[in-house]
Chain A
């Protein structure tokens, strides 16, 4: 799983790099616009250690933001699944608020909270929160009638059981959504650092942009891709473990078919 992710990323990265060198060759562009291989290599040697820790910094913020958004989406999704006025209000609010671009609100967050950790964390969490919330509400508000019927009818149904049944029956969807939103958390953190923070790889990219140094940006992109792939692979692995342990009595693929 991990090697597959890394292999896919490295392939895409080097295809992109090859495209840049092709453009450079075809239009005879200078090293100032698109640096040569030796420039990139020298820059990588120079900034690798610093960028490595910058990406680690960004990844740790993204992971915390991701966990926060999963927790929030779970709580709000559980309330939003209700068919009463409160559930309806939360569903409507979620659909309307998510249509507003968080990036546009980001400068306001930096003005209010400063350029430190809290702003990066908040923006990262908000960017991956709404897609998660919409999926969670959709999954948790969809009854699994064939299973729930007995519990409802015999008066045994509790909200915890209802959530458990629906989450279990949609485990693969939930894992896919959570893993997919990890990329958003990383994107959100980098965007927030790029806009106004004073740490992380997004900040380093901003500095590289001011210096018009494409080599640095390419090195940063390489490290971002490697770490994001690692994070996604870890999430998928965790998802598989949870799915296997929880559904050890299930026939493989049975849940999706049902």
Chain B
């Protein structure tokens, strides 16, 4: 688990802070979400947790997860090798047995011999997410990692991730209230710096494959998230 205490941060030259005494806990096993309006600081917060952004006041202390990976939807693969060749190369030996399972369930089998730039945006994002899932991670932050992917495939991918990695932690950043309400265990709602507290945690429906979500409960969760943000 990662404990964030009194985080204060302002981008150099910015008039207002991004975070004002932000405190929260993330990193429990399971599929969780980080939700908030555009520009509220979701990616900034994610990069702080992943250790890619310094220069903030406050403390981020981790007890559980050691290996934190941060993936985002604009990442690209180098153009000199095909997708399959790249994935094979960057996957640790111990995880190589999982390649075909992930590739198949992500609907990427036909893309393996292609160059990354030949893929559609949705395929690119799925390929990028697949290579992160094949790493040895404790917490994977997925910053809009399923953008441009159709709803049915997203559902399939999220179900697969939850089934394949029940012990790992995921922090899914998305702008879809319905999606985070349905699939995530906890939704950390990040709010504007002027609101206190700056984060609220809403319990999601944590839907897994083969189970249904009661429509009324889902609507209730969605309402709570909208009200919180």
A residues contacting B by CB (< 8 A) are: 146-147, 149-150, 153-154, 156, 164-165, 168-169, 246-251, 254-255, 258
CB distance A146 to B74 under 8 Å? yes
Tell me what chain B mostly uses at the interface: helix, strand, loop, or mixed: loop
Report the number of A-B residue pairs with Cβ-Cβ less than 8 Å. Answer: 55
* A120–B89 alpha-carbon span in the complex (Å): 47
B residues contacting A by CB (< 8 A) are: 50, 52, 69-72, 74-82, 90, 114-118, 128, 131-132, 135
CB distance A153 to B52 under 8 Å? yes
* A149–B46 alpha-carbon span in the complex (Å): 14
B92 to chain A: closest residue by CB: A154
CB distance A249 to B76 under 8 Å? no
CB distance B75 to A247 under 8 Å? no
Residues of A contacting B71 with CB < 8 Å?
150
CB distance A153 to B70 under 8 Å? yes
* A153–B81 alpha-carbon span in the complex (Å): 20
Q: How far is the CB of A248 from chain B (nearest CB, A)?
A: 8
Residues of B contacting A156 with CB < 8 Å?
90
CB distance B117 to A251 under 8 Å? yes
CB distance A249 to B118 under 8 Å? yes
A169 to chain B: closest residue by CB: B79
Of the residues B52, B69, B81, B117, contact of A154 by C-beta under 8 Å: B69
Q: Which 7 A-B pairs have the closest CB atoms?
A: A249-B115, A254-B117, A250-B79, A251-B117, A146-B76, A147-B76, A250-B117
Q: How far is the CB of A144 from chain B (nearest CB, A)?
A: 8
Other A-B pairs, 17, CB within 8 Å; known A150-B90, A249-B117, A250-B115? A146-B74, A147-B77, A149-B72, A150-B132, A153-B52, A154-B69, A156-B90, A168-B79, A249-B79, A249-B81, A249-B114, A249-B118, A251-B115, A251-B118, A254-B117, A255-B79, A258-B76
* A247–B78 alpha-carbon span in the complex (Å): 10
CB distance B135 to A154 under 8 Å? yes
A149 to chain B: closest residue by CB: B75
Q: How far is the CB of B188 from chain A (nearest CB, A)?
A: 22
Residues of A contacting B50 with CB < 8 Å?
153
Residues of A contacting B70 with CB < 8 Å?
153
Of the residues B52, B72, B75, B118, contact of A147 by C-beta under 8 Å: B75
CB distance B90 to A154 under 8 Å? yes
A-B contact pairs, 17 of them (CB 8 A): A147-B77, A149-B75, A150-B71, A150-B75, A150-B90, A150-B131, A153-B70, A154-B90, A154-B135, A156-B90, A168-B78, A247-B79, A249-B79, A249-B115, A250-B117, A254-B117, A255-B117
Residues of A contacting B75 with CB < 8 Å?
146-147, 149-150
Known: A150-B90, A150-B131. A165 touches B115 (CB 8 A): no
A246 to chain B: closest residue by CB: B80
Residues of A contacting B116 with CB < 8 Å?
249
Q: How far is the CB of B192 from chain A (nearest CB, A)?
A: 27
* A147–B131 alpha-carbon span in the complex (Å): 13
CB distance A249 to B82 under 8 Å? yes
Residues of B contacting A258 with CB < 8 Å?
76, 117
Q: How far is the CB of B107 from chain A (nearest CB, A)?
A: 20
Residues of A contacting B74 with CB < 8 Å?
146
* A150–B132 alpha-carbon span in the complex (Å): 8
Residues of B contacting A150 with CB < 8 Å?
71, 75, 90, 128, 131-132
* A258–B78 alpha-carbon span in the complex (Å): 12
Q: How far is the CB of B140 from chain A (nearest CB, A)?
A: 11
Residues of B contacting A149 with CB < 8 Å?
72, 75
* A246–B70 alpha-carbon span in the complex (Å): 29
* A154–B136 alpha-carbon span in the complex (Å): 9
Residues of A contacting B82 with CB < 8 Å?
249
Q: How far is the CB of A241 from chain B (nearest CB, A)?
A: 15
Residues of A contacting B69 with CB < 8 Å?
153-154
Residues of A contacting B76 with CB < 8 Å?
146-147, 258
* A248–B117 alpha-carbon span in the complex (Å): 11
Q: How far is the CB of B111 from chain A (nearest CB, A)?
A: 11
Residues of A contacting B115 with CB < 8 Å?
248-251
B51 to chain A: closest residue by CB: A153
Residues of A contacting B117 with CB < 8 Å?
249-251, 254-255, 258
* A146–B78 alpha-carbon span in the complex (Å): 9
Residues of A contacting B80 with CB < 8 Å?
164, 168, 246-247, 249
* A89–B43 alpha-carbon span in the complex (Å): 35
* A168–B81 alpha-carbon span in the complex (Å): 11
* A147–B114 alpha-carbon span in the complex (Å): 17
